[in-house]
Amino acid sequence: MAAGKSALIIGASRGLGYALASEFLVRGWQVTATERTPSALHELGDLTVETVDIAVPEQVAALRERLAGSAFDLLFVNAGTNYTTDPSATFTDVSTEDFVQVMVTNALSPMRVVETLQDLVPETGTIGVMSSGQGSVADNTKGGFEVYRASKSALNQLMRSFAARHADDPRTLLLMAPGWVQTDLGGPSARLTIDESIPGVADTIEAWAGKGGLHYLDRQGQTVNW
């Protein structure tokens, strides 16, 4: 149990974010979790529900204003998207509009949230973002998920740039790879259930608290190749 710890989870209306909010509640954390529109979060239990669309900077700034005076041991940006659940979709098929939407949602917007909300996390805290094993350039030997993959690689690169800009920052920075999981985004063919993924993600986040530095980790706490 981590009594007294607090988490702010961005993008928790369903899927992995919802499960992560639930998991931290069970572990005794104080949880604030966000949705874009009214969701099942309100029935999850004793947590605070906030609203934000991460792709709208004014909403992210307004959330920061509402949270003034709060502090969180963990800021975790989970929100993400794909325009298809078909693993074989390539960048030759995607419309420019869908490509931009995936990139803005998965790479630019999470990092804007990190930039805007980071001062709510104390020096001992952790700032995490939900990446994916698909974001690994080194491990991309089989292709597939081409546009989504590119968006998570861009996210990883932006997080590395953030880390480089904050080289003396003692906080722990995490890019998490939860595995391929059965959600609306992962699709029904995914290898893992949510229950096979999220406890490991939470274990890893807890285990790396206080270590400092930037780490790209899977749900078993193993380093993913960049």
Ligand X SMILES: NC(=O)c1ccc[n+]([C@@H]2O[C@H](COP(=O)([O-])OP(=O)(O)OC[C@H]3O[C@@H](n4cnc5c(N)ncnc54)[C@H](OP(=O)(O)O)[C@@H]3O)[C@@H](O)[C@H]2O)c1
Q: For 25, phi and psi rounded to 5 degrees?
A: -60, -45
Contact window for ligand X (CB under 6 A) among 79-87, 95-103, 164-172, 215-223: 79-87
Query: How many beta carbons lie within 10 A of that of residue 8, not counting itself?
Result: 27
Of the pair 36, 166, the CB lying nearest ligand X is at: 36
Nearer to ligand X, 1 or 44 (CB): 44
- The reply to whether 60 sits near ligand X by the rule CB under 6 A is no
CB 105 within 8 A of CB 81: yes
98 versus 168: smaller Cβ distance to ligand X: 98
Taken in order 96, 98, 99, 101, the sign of the CA dihedral is: positive
Residue range at the interface with ligand X (CB under 6 A); choices 21-29, 76-84, 116-124, 214-222: 76-84
Binding window for ligand X (CB under 6 A); candidates: 43-51, 53-61, 95-103, 218-226: 53-61
Give the residue, chosen from 15, 125, 128, 200, that forms a contact with ligand X under the rule CB under 6 A. Answer: 15
CA distance 8 to 120: 10
Classify residue 43 by burial, with Cβ atoms within 10 Å: 0-12, 13-18, 19+. exposed
Contact between 80 and ligand X by CB under 6 A: the answer reads yes
Residues 178/201, Cβ–Cβ less than 8 Å: yes
- How far apart CA 58 and CA 40 sit, in angstroms, is 25
Task: Select the residue interacting with ligand X from 7, 9, 13, 63 (CB under 6 A).
Answer: 13
Stretch that binds ligand X, among 162-170, 182-190, 206-214, 218-226 (CB under 6 A): 182-190
Of 39 and 172, CB closest to ligand X: 39
Pick the binder of ligand X from 29, 180, 208, 216 (CB under 6 A). 180
Q: Which of 7, 8, 9, 16 binds ligand X (CB under 6 A)?
A: 16
Give the closest residue to 191 by CA, choosing from 204, 206, 180, 200: 180
Among 22, 105, 156, 204, binds ligand X (CB under 6 A): 105
Q: Is 147 among the residues that bind ligand X (CB under 6 A)?
A: no
Strands (E), 22-170: 30-35, 48-51, 74-77, 126-130
- ∠ CA(103), CA(104), CA(106), 5° rounding? 65
Question: Does position 36 bind ligand X by CB under 6 A?
Answer: yes
Count of other CB atoms within 10 angstroms of residue 213: 12
Q: Give the interface with ligand X as residue ranges (CB under 6 A).
A: 11-17, 36-37, 53-55, 78-81, 105, 130, 132, 178, 180-181, 183-186, 190
